[in-house]
Amino acid sequence: MSFLYRSTRNENETATASEAILKGLAEEGGLFVPDEIPELDVPFEELAEMDYKEIAFEVMSRMLTDFTEEELRACINGAYDEKFDTELIAPVKYHHGAYILELFHGKTIAFKDMALSILPYLLTTAAKKNNIDKEIVILTATSGDTGKAALAGFADVPGTKIAVFYPKNGVSPIQEKQMVTEKGKNTFVAGITGNFDDAQTGVKKMFSDKALAEYLDEKGFQFSSANSINIGRLVPQMVYYVYAYTRLIAAGTIAAGDKINVVVPTGNFGNILAAYYASQMGLPVNKFICASNDNKVLYDFFTTGEYDRNREFILTSSPSMDILISSNLERLIYRIAGNDAEKNSELMKSLNETGKYEITDEMKKNLYQFYGNFATSDEVSSTIRTVYEEDGYVLDTHTAVAVNVYDKYKADTEDTTPTIIASTASPYKFARSVVTAIDPKLDSEGDFDLVDALEDISKVKVPQAVEEIRTAPIVHDTVCDKDEMEAVVKRFLGI
Ligand SMILES: *Cc1c(COP(=O)(O)O)cnc(C)c1O
């Protein structure tokens, strides 16, 4: 079976899975999407007896059709090993009336590890398959978590170099320290004087610059992306929704075929889109609940059908979701327009030129499974406190956005469908916001004192990822303007 990936902006631009992973982005800013999503034709009862890696193979082999079984199994085995602090890889826990899917047990304690542990394997395998002899340069914009997860994944991987751009004043102190202490010899990290959207726009611009691509080619380099615009990020993210669903079957909580809701704290729309793709493969989902923070552009979109980024960018206590241009929404827009590249291009052109677009009533109807809502930073604090007081479980700020929005959803709809909430980060990554939500008196303490306080509060040991940066020296200190991104990448490559 060979299904092709196709650009959301040009129906004639196609790629195999491995080519799409290598390129990252299609021409003219388009994103690669699967033509059709094959059915997951393995009974759920059977999947319920498999472990994470086996399920990963079942799901990913249907999406990455030009990888051989041997290649794909080698990628999966390399990725989901003792880098994770539990054999379960993604444990499911019951708190506050929902199943919390903990996606933060990887090396950098955010859900980005779920895909970025395997992306370097997929990418180097794809390079081999396609006889690429150039060095691959991974360009990455990060709202805080992708950066370190990508650095950890690609550090010292032969044949690759990686450059990461983060908003200098828009990430948590722990997130920043994780990135600027990265030791990999092929890595480069720069803070930019701007926000995440500026970083992402700058990176996308370099990707679509043909003259730059030719220049790189001459010098022996080729760009690829570790952002969720790369299909190699989305496919591994489909796995854990199937995994979580089958754990509920194994536990006797639901029967095979029963519907569930999923709640996803959302920024760039990659994680929730992966859940949507999993449902197209056969996962029985009732509602996709899209949880936003104060940057509630998606809530407004799902409520009105108009996407409008013309608004103030707000720095919140959930910085990894401080985004006004949710790149992966384009993939959903393309789908609800009936896989219509022309219609999608028209809307994206409008977004580019006016900062907004409005979908048709017909398209709106296709969004009936989506529900959007948002939580303010104050609501996030009180949710963290409430859940902690219930049973001692400590949420990070992003997961707290999701839990708060789920409460609102239940109040709005009285829906009692069993619900999985994607828990996207360890509370240790956002120790200040989390600890002061529970005990405001501690706000005067230093960042690592708060880490120790969190250990007392949560009774969960300080993760290795935090221990190792306590005293680590700073390796990267570049700060640049958003207009200088291309120049600093060239300097890093020595060209
Ligand atoms: C990246 C991130 C998100 C947002 O995920 P998207 O796929 O960009 O929607 C939410 N929470 C955390 C902790 C993240 O790192």
Q: Is 493 helix (H, G, I), strand (E, B) or coil?
A: helix
State the pLDDT at residue 28.
85
The H or E element that residue 261 is part of is: strand 260-265
Sign of the CA dihedral 281, 399, 374, 310?
A: negative
Query: Of 142, 268, 288, which is best to mutate to test ligand 1, by the most ligand atoms within 8 angstroms of its C-beta?
Result: 268
The answer, yes or no, to whether any atom of ligand 1 lies below 6 A from the CB of 398, is yes
Contact 342, 364 (CB under 8 A): no
Query: What amino acid positions are annotated as catalytic residues?
Result: 112
Q: CA 147, CA 152: separation in Å to the nearest integer? A: 9
User: Quick one: which of 444, 457, 442, 451 has its CA closest to 471?
Assistant: 451
The H or E element that residue 7 is part of is: strand 5-7
State the pLDDT at residue 29.
87
Query: What is the phi-psi region of residue 144: left when phi exceeds 0, alpha when psi lies from -120 to 50, beta otherwise?
Result: left
State the pLDDT at residue 490.
96
State the pLDDT at residue 2.
64
The answer, yes or no, to whether any atom of ligand 1 lies below 6 A from the CB of 320, is yes
Q: How far is the CA of 265 from the centre of ligand 1 (A)?
A: 7
Please report how many Cα atoms fall inside a 13 Å half-sphere around the Cα of residue 298, on the Cβ side: 35
Q: Which residues, in sequence order, are CB contacts of 86 under 8 Å at separation 6+?
A: 105
State the pLDDT at residue 82.
95
Q: Which residues, in sequence order, are CB contacts of 190 under 8 Å at separation 6+?
A: 163, 164, 165, 166, 476, 478, 479, 480, 485, 488
Q: CA 429, CA 466: separation in Å to the nearest integer? A: 8
Contact 424, 399 (CB under 8 A): yes
The answer, yes or no, to whether any atom of ligand 1 lies below 6 A from the CB of 322, is no
Q: How far is the CA of 130 from the centre of ligand 1 (A)?
A: 31
Q: CA 409, CA 443: separation in Å to the nearest integer? A: 32
Contact 173, 432 (CB under 8 A): yes
Give the helix ranges, DSSP H, for 254-328. Answer: 270-281, 297-304
What letter does residue 157 receive in the DSSP assignment? Answer: -
Q: Could you give the dihedral angle defined by the CA atoms of residues 103, 106, 111 and 114, in that order, rounded to the nearest 10 degrees?
A: -90
The answer, yes or no, to whether any atom of ligand 1 lies below 6 A from the CB of 266, is yes
pLDDT by residue, tens only, the chain of 495 residues: 567 899 999 999 999 999 999 999 998 889 999 988 999 999 999 999 999 999 999 999 999 999 999 999 999 999 999 999 999 999 999 999 999 999 999 999 999 999 999 999 999 999 999 999 999 999 999 988 999 999 999 999 999 999 999 999 999 999 999 999 999 999 999 999 999 999 999 998 998 899 999 999 999 999 999 998 999 999 999 999 999 999 999 999 999 999 999 999 999 999 999 999 999 999 999 999 999 999 999 999 999 999 999 999 999 999 999 999 999 999 999 999 999 999 999 999 999 999 999 999 999 999 999 999 999 999 999 999 999 999 999 999 999 999 999 999 999 999 999 999 999 999 999 999 999 999 999 999 999 999 999 999 999 999 999 999 999 999 999 999 999 999 999 999 999
User: Quick one: which of 142, 138, 151 has its CA closest to 170?
Assistant: 142
- The DSSP result for 179-243, as a single string, is HHT---TTEEEEEESS-HHHHHHHHHHHHT-HHHHHHHHHHTEEEEE-STTSHHHHHHHHHHHHH
Structure tokens at 211: 């003259």
- The DSSP result for 442-467, as a single string, is GGGS-HHHHHHHHHHHH--PPPHHHH
Q: CA 120, CA 152: separation in Å to the nearest integer? A: 10
Give the position, in ligand 1's atom list, of the atom nearest the Cα of 104.
13
What does the buried/exposed string (b/e) look like for 249-266 if buried means 16 or more CB atoms within 10 Å of the residue's CB?
A: bbeeebeeeeebbbbbbb
Q: CA 101, CA 366: separation in Å to the nearest integer? A: 27
Tell me whether strands 32-34 and 5-7 are parallel, antiparallel or unpaired: antiparallel
The answer, yes or no, to whether any atom of ligand 1 lies below 6 A from the CB of 110, is yes
